Structure 1
Amino acid sequence: MKIATFNVNGITSRLPRVLEWLAESRPDIACLQELKTSDATFPEQAFQEAGYGAVWHGQKGFNGVAVLARGAPPQDIRRGLPGDPDDTHSRYLEAQAGGLTVASIYLPNGNPQPGPKFDYKLAWFERLIQHAAELCSRPDPVLLVGDYNVVPTNDVGDIYSAKSWLNDALLQPQTRDAWQRLLAQGWTDAILKLHAGAPMYTFWDYFRNRWERNAGLRIDHLLLNAPAAARLDSAGVDREVRGRDKPSDHAPAWVVLR
């Protein structure tokens, strides 16, 4: 079973690229982030025609997450993280499909830092950590996938060069500490597990020819609890999608479970 994650950076403008990728890669489950569209304008019919059922948590102009499942619609479990009833951002969607529990995550960027946006990022991360603890301990396979807006280390496998990013919220010690505490619950970083040390970037900024120079970051992650990690067969990044016409600034990442 193939599970993928893709920050589409606007589903309305990127729909041709997303449909093209679904036809080529054929994931059984695809989690999308940064839809930038309302619930009412989500292109459900286009995905149905492509063979995918969908659940989504939209927000006009910002954020937004979805879970697609090939052949049948997934079952919607939770929209939004617990812990802050005043949080109106559409950043978390939990669903069941194909015998798996999958969450599509769009963690806040946090820039500029320091400031209220960084404080929100860290507070949201704490809520995720609290909720993820119960998910990690389940006896059935669970995957937390999406755009975490975290560069785990300064190693070449995670970032082409940290020099120009040292003040960015994605690399701050508080961000990385939260990431490590999440992993310490027992989650497996699938890409790191199978490709440690290799550049497995998932994001290339539109500016400064970063795609052409392969000046990328690894910020889209697939975390597996122990039952899911026991079935891990392969993982990768469909990096060629980033090089196509009018692309997202992210590329899809994926895992295959036995």
Structure 2
Amino acid sequence: MKLATWNVNSLNVRLPHVLDWIAAEKPDVLCLQETKQEDSKFPYAALQEAGYNAVHSGQKTYNGVAILSPHAIENVTFGIPGLDDEQKRLVTATINGVRIVCAYIPNGQSLDCDKYQYKLRWLEALIGYLQQELQQHPKLALLGDYNIAPEDRDVHDPAAWVGQVLVSEPERKAFNAFTSLGLHDSFRLFEQEEASFSWWDYRMAGFRRNLGLRIDHILVSDALKSQCRRCWIDQGPRKLERPSDHTPVVLELE
């Protein structure tokens, strides 16, 4: 079983990239973030023609999450129960017995911004939600754009990022709370090259110079950890014309 996550930064722009990628890689699950389109504009027909079912929670211009799979997508829920939030950032479903949580965690903008406090509240709500989901679904994977670089080795220049979002202590504490629930960073289950990143700024030739961050993650529960066989970052789509600033992260399960 192959799971993948990809912040496409506008599916309207990146749909050809997605269709080419799923044709080549044939993931069993692909979680998308920042689709940036309403449900009425989502390309269900094009994906169905490519052999993929889909569920989507979207809004105009911002946010938006989707789960794609060639298999049945069951027991679908949207958002975090109990959290009053108009932003479309979470969709959950069961595929082949695995509970898939697709998340687009808020960016936070800056440490002195209301959006940062919103991010911390959202993370707290997500942690509570995952705790409940894990009780019902031992086989669970949390995929998405976390907007958190969990360690300094996940940042191209830690000193340059001091005092900024994505690397702050409260954000990293929240990431560690996921692991305290029994979730494991699948990328770090395997030996990886140094300076492995999933996001690069469009500016300053960020990708060419590898000035990146690893902020897209696939965390898996204890029940799935032993089934993990390989996890990697596929830089191919980032090399395309008009790419997303993120690239897919892929996990193979036994």
Check whether the contact 2:92–2:100 (CA below 8 A) recurs between aligned residues. yes
**Runs of at least 4 residues of structure 1 off by over 2 A?**
134-140, 195-200
Structure 2: distance between partners of 1:139 and 1:57: 22
Check whether the contact 1:54–1:73 (CA below 8 A) recurs between aligned residues. no
Task: Give the secondary structure class of the aligned counterpart of 1:208.
Answer: helix
Check whether the contact 1:238–1:252 (CA below 8 A) recurs between aligned residues. yes
Q: CA deviation at 1:127?
A: 0.3
1:133 is matched with 131
Q: CA deviation at 1:169?
A: 1.1
Q: Which amino acid letter does the alignment assign opposite residue 125 of structure 1?
A: L
1:68 is matched with 68
Task: Give the secondary structure class of the aligned counterpart of 2:9.
Answer: coil
1:5 is matched with 5
Check whether the contact 1:137–1:225 (CA below 8 A) recurs between aligned residues. no
TM-score by length of 1: 0.95
1:171 is matched with 167
Task: Give the secondary structure class of the aligned counterpart of 1:170.
Answer: coil
Q: Which amino acid letter does the alignment assign opposite residue 7 of structure 1?
A: N
1:247 to 240, 243, 250: 243
Task: Give the secondary structure class of the aligned counterpart of 2:160.
Answer: helix
Structure 2: distance between partners of 1:257 and 1:184: 22
1:84 is matched with 83
Give the number of aligned pairs: 254
- List gaps (5 residues or longer) in structure 1: none
Structure 2: distance between partners of 1:42 and 1:153: 35
Task: Give the secondary structure class of the aligned counterpart of 1:186.
Answer: coil
| RMSD (Å) for aligned C-alpha atoms | 1.3
Structure 2: distance between partners of 1:76 and 1:58: 18
2:197 to 181, 196, 201: 201
Q: Which amino acid letter does the alignment assign opposite residue 150 of structure 2?
A: P
After superposition, residues 140-155 of structure 1 pair within 5 angstroms as: 140-155=138-153
Q: CA deviation at 1:172?
A: 0.8
Q: CA deviation at 1:139?
A: 5.6
Q: Which amino acid letter does the alignment assign opposite residue 41 of structure 2?
A: T
Structure 1: distance between partners of 2:191 and 2:132: 28
TM-score by length of 2: 0.96
Structure 2: distance between partners of 1:93 and 1:200: 27
- List gaps (5 residues or longer) in structure 2: none
Q: Which amino acid letter does the alignment assign opposite residue 224 of structure 1?
A: V
2:210 is matched with 214
Q: Identity of aligned pairs, percent?
A: 36
After superposition, residues 14-53 of structure 1 pair within 5 angstroms as: 14-53=14-53
